[in-house]
Chain A
Amino acid sequence: MTRVLPAPTISRRVFLTGLAASGSARALGRTHYGGLLRLKLPWPLSAGLDPHDADDALAALLGAALFDCLYARDASGRAYPTLATALPERSATGTRLELRPNLVTAAGHPLDARDVVWSLGRARQRAALGLLERFAEPRLDPAAKLTISFGNADPSELADALSKPVTAILPRHFTRQTLDGTGAFVALLSPDRWLLKRNRFAARGAAFLDAIEIKRAADLADALRSFEAGDTDVGWLGAGYHRARPGAVRFDAGAFGWVVLRTGKDAGGWAAPGVAQRLLDTIAASRLAHLGLYELGESSGITAWGGPPSDLLVPDDCPHLQEIARALAALLTRPGHEVRAVSRTRSELHERRARGAYALLLDFVRTLGPTDADTLLALLTAADPNLARRPPRAATGNARQLARTLPFGVVGTLRISGAHAPDVRGIREWNLAGASR
């Protein structure tokens, strides 16, 4: 049975604090600066994050707090400039946009047009492939140091593409472990704990919170128990483990990605496109709903893995995916066709994925945006970059239906949802920059 989802109020990617966005009705107090927000996430902290990666869940959850795009979208879906000075404009020499002057990263490094060109070139080779393929490569304007031209791009399409979080602007010295951006926070990383501290150089305004402390949850239950006990201020996927924490306020800020089951060469005939999705569609939603998955399939038939005995590979540092992998393995296995959840390092999984050297692999794909076209591009990019370069028209934006033509199946949708302590504000839309207490 598919869980009925609450209608999201505002997408978490819609920022109402953009300088050129229409302001919300505000009262006469000022949001208080200060406070610490604590949370535990069942996602890996040791590998840093990369906003340009399609399989990076932490980037989907925290990237917007650390990095900015050239544009963002308001509540009506209109793009407005954030790091750019204005919307792109057509001129005699092509479509151009200009970066705001005097921007600096949290570490104080100036950000200029070269960083924009570098970032977009990098994003184009990763999660933003499908988004940016139709535009010419960005070029610096030698006469105007902050101006970048994009050939003959349609200005509104360009602004739309450059508002997607996977096109975040990074400084040229960026690494996964050096999260130095223009966002409201700057991250101080250690393997089991991240501290996002207020960035006083933030291009769109420093955060209201002093800091956000993020620890790695051992599993989903650990995150819920911590919230119930008052050790954290956000309950990931719920309001408590045994019972709801008194006063907790539930929230649902929308989808941030999908868990997908890839089938590789070692699966033989079961690796054909669409097979994984048909297999997953036989699983009753009630068997997986407790794992924080939404938009599960309607059960249709008997669930049975018919391929060879196989390892279901899963990253060894991701508690949430590991729980899902164990549940899936138990659901799919049958005598002679056993499926066993096996943890591997991320680097090994990346390498195997690139070669197709696996039978079953559990993976994460982040969303690109709320529209059907965004869903299609995200899944195509994850499936095959060549498909993303020339996306077909699709009659549907339903991820499960789209996956019937792809070499992986969508297990379910992941949403930013749970509960928060009553004195925390701004979490409802997952706008961490605007959160306060």
Chain B
Amino acid sequence: MSPPPRARCCNALTGSRIHRARPPQIQRRASALLVGCALGIASPCLSAEPRLVPGALPDATPNAACAEQRMGALRRAACAIAADIGPVNEGALVVPASIERDASLQRPIELAARMASLIASALGPRVRSVAEPATLSFARSLARSAKQLVFVRIQVADGALRMSAELYPIAGRFWDRVKNPAPDASRRAVASQALDAEAKAFFADAPSQARKIEKIAALDRDTVALACTSAKLGGSVELVLAGRRRVTRARIDKGALAVFAARAWSDVSPVAAHPLREPIAGIATRANDVIDVGSSDRADAVRFDAGLSPLAHLGRRIPWPTGGCSSLLDLSLDGSVTPCAATDPAGSLRFGVEADAIASDAVTLADGSVRVYHALRIANESVALVRDDAGHGIRVEAVGAQLAIADLDLDGQPELVTTRDTLDPAQDFVLVRTWPMTGALVERFRIPVPSGVRALAVCPAQSAGPRILVIATSDELWLVR
């Protein structure tokens, strides 16, 4: 005699198929069993299924502690989820939902499994995960013996990975389940991250596309430094612009630059006692929406909050995007990276030369590890030195005054963005070259900029495609996609 449908349903599922990849037919069989369960008494199998609404997952404020650690997007998102969800019981189960996906996502199940595994690892050593997506009701069933369920929804859109996680208690005893078969989530967490090389490994390779350049009228004609903020993943491009008179935060909206915060330099830092004739400037966007801006025109670099209110004066320094600052000397920058403020984390890097342009970025490799790259232009020479934190380095000749380094195409290899060493604007161009692990630079493309380039920045992608290169000319901003 066969057991009643309810028992078959639950006995078939309890404690089985954890941490092992499963073909989708397992889920279909479980669905069939759920249908069978519907004929019996009330059980978790009959819980109402929440409908996944496309676009429902909100943006999340980046978790500062996770953002400061050197990790790829997937780990960072898992870290943020774990931090926000808070402590869970030993043996809690993490189950991913089916991914709401971008058309180019090629391996959604693997991505879901990977995220579940990372979140489980971040929550604790005894937290387990399921290797395949499930519905919430099925997830509750899977988590019966775990007593707690972390149900993770993942969405990929507009170049960003968004996820939410809900912590559900699972009643262990029969009558508890009868009384409340589908308890509400006790905690929720959200996280969002721009895609990087680790995440891109789950996507199909993007077809090679013609570059599109969108040109936008600049508001100030004296830009000396540029940076992107990641406040609105997958949304409009947001920039921090440092000019000779003011610092602004602006958003590119419908083809125009809209300033939403501005601060006159004269309000926060007097003119330097002995500035440089050609300014050196830099911007670094830090965790917690903190922005460090330095310029050789000014007595002090300034640490701002998101609204460009000053938080601290950093002395005569220029910030590196990946952390730390270099001090201004008489005619150049010290080529050493040291803390910007006494309260900043310790750490240092020495190039042993003076510089007049600096750039850095943390690049996620395909395996999820992160490598930090620093680049500087040797002062008074047209030579750049590029170095990673694994001890590799290259020397690049014929480099102009503007410099950027970033993984533009998210393939785990950095692109070095340089300009021409010329004083004739008509001869100017931006040159993008990849530094592969094997050694020599490989040119990707170059863009003539006949009005001269003032500053460079790299912004998050707005789709599954490459990141956006932003070029500040004398009177425009060019967005290269």
**Chain A residues in contact with chain B, CB under 8 A?**
17, 19-20, 22-23, 25-34, 85-86, 100-104, 184, 200-208, 425, 433-434
* Minimum Cβ distance to chain A for residue B197 (Å): 29
A85 touches B277 (CB 8 A): no
For residues 262 through 277 of chain B, which have their beta carbon under 8 Å from a beta carbon of chain A? 266, 270-271, 273-277
Query: Which residue, A17, A27, A34, A102, has most C-beta atoms of chain B within 10 A?
Result: A27
* Assembly CA distance A28 to B471 (angstroms): 12
Determine the residue in chain A with the shortest Cβ distance to B297. Answer: A19
What secondary structure prevails in chain B residues at the interface with A? loop
A100 touches B427 (CB 8 A): no
B297 touches A26 (CB 8 A): no
**Chain B residues in contact with chain A, CB under 8 A?**
221-222, 244-245, 266, 270-271, 273-278, 297, 299, 330-331, 356, 380, 382, 400-402, 419-425, 427-428, 449, 451-454, 474
User: Please, could you name 28 A-B residue pairs with CB atoms under 8 Å apart, sorted by A?
Assistant: A19-B244, A23-B222, A25-B451, A26-B278, A26-B425, A26-B454, A27-B424, A27-B425, A28-B402, A28-B419, A28-B449, A28-B453, A29-B422, A30-B356, A30-B380, A30-B401, A33-B331, A33-B380, A85-B270, A85-B271, A86-B266, A104-B273, A201-B273, A202-B274, A205-B276, A206-B276, A206-B330, A425-B423
A29 touches B454 (CB 8 A): no
**Which chain B residues lie closer than 8 Å to A28 at the CB level?**
400-402, 419-422, 428, 449, 452-453
A32 touches B400 (CB 8 A): no
What secondary structure prevails in chain A residues at the interface with B? loop
Partner of A29, one of B221, B330, B421: B421
The 6 closest A-B pairs by CB, nearest first: A28-B419, A28-B400, A205-B277, A102-B273, A27-B452, A29-B421
A102 touches B422 (CB 8 A): no
* Assembly CA distance A200 to B330 (angstroms): 6
* Minimum Cβ distance to chain B for residue A140 (Å): 20
Besides A29-B400, A104-B274, A208-B277, 20 other CB < 8 A contacts?
A17-B277, A19-B244, A19-B271, A19-B297, A23-B244, A25-B451, A25-B452, A26-B452, A27-B424, A27-B428, A28-B402, A28-B449, A30-B356, A30-B380, A85-B271, A100-B271, A103-B273, A200-B330, A203-B273, A206-B277
**Which chain B residues lie closer than 8 Å to A17 at the CB level?**
277
Determine the residue in chain B with the shortest Cβ distance to A104. Answer: B273
* Assembly CA distance A208 to B422 (angstroms): 16
**Which chain B residues lie closer than 8 Å to A32 at the CB level?**
380
Knowing A25-B452, A100-B270, A206-B331 are in contact, say whether A31-B277 is a contact too (CB < 8 A). Answer: yes
B423 touches A29 (CB 8 A): yes
* Minimum Cβ distance to chain B for residue A196 (Å): 16
**Which chain A residues lie closer than 8 Å to B424 at the CB level?**
27
Partner of A27, one of B244, B356, B420: B420
**Which chain A residues lie closer than 8 Å to B270 at the CB level?**
85, 100-102
B452 touches A206 (CB 8 A): no
Determine the residue in chain B with the shortest Cβ distance to A101. Answer: B270
* Minimum Cβ distance to chain A for residue B375 (Å): 15
* Assembly CA distance A206 to B278 (angstroms): 10
Knowing A23-B221, A100-B270, A100-B271 are in contact, say whether A29-B401 is a contact too (CB < 8 A). Answer: yes
* Assembly CA distance A75 to B422 (angstroms): 23
**Which chain B residues lie closer than 8 Å to A207 at the CB level?**
277
Knowing A28-B400, A28-B401, A29-B382 are in contact, say whether A205-B451 is a contact too (CB < 8 A). Answer: no
* Minimum Cβ distance to chain A for residue B377 (Å): 8
Knowing A19-B244, A103-B273 are in contact, say whether A25-B425 is a contact too (CB < 8 A). Answer: yes
**Which chain B residues lie closer than 8 Å to A25 at the CB level?**
425, 451-452, 474
B275 touches A204 (CB 8 A): yes
Knowing A200-B274, A201-B273 are in contact, say whether A31-B452 is a contact too (CB < 8 A). Answer: no
**Which chain A residues lie closer than 8 Å to B449 at the CB level?**
28
**Which chain A residues lie closer than 8 Å to B221 at the CB level?**
22-23
**Which chain B residues lie closer than 8 Å to A101 at the CB level?**
270, 273, 299
Knowing A23-B222, A26-B474, A100-B270 are in contact, say whether A205-B425 is a contact too (CB < 8 A). Answer: no
* Assembly CA distance A251 to B285 (angstroms): 47
**Which chain B residues lie closer than 8 Å to A434 at the CB level?**
277
A433 touches B277 (CB 8 A): yes
Partner of B274, one of A22, A23, A85, A201: A201
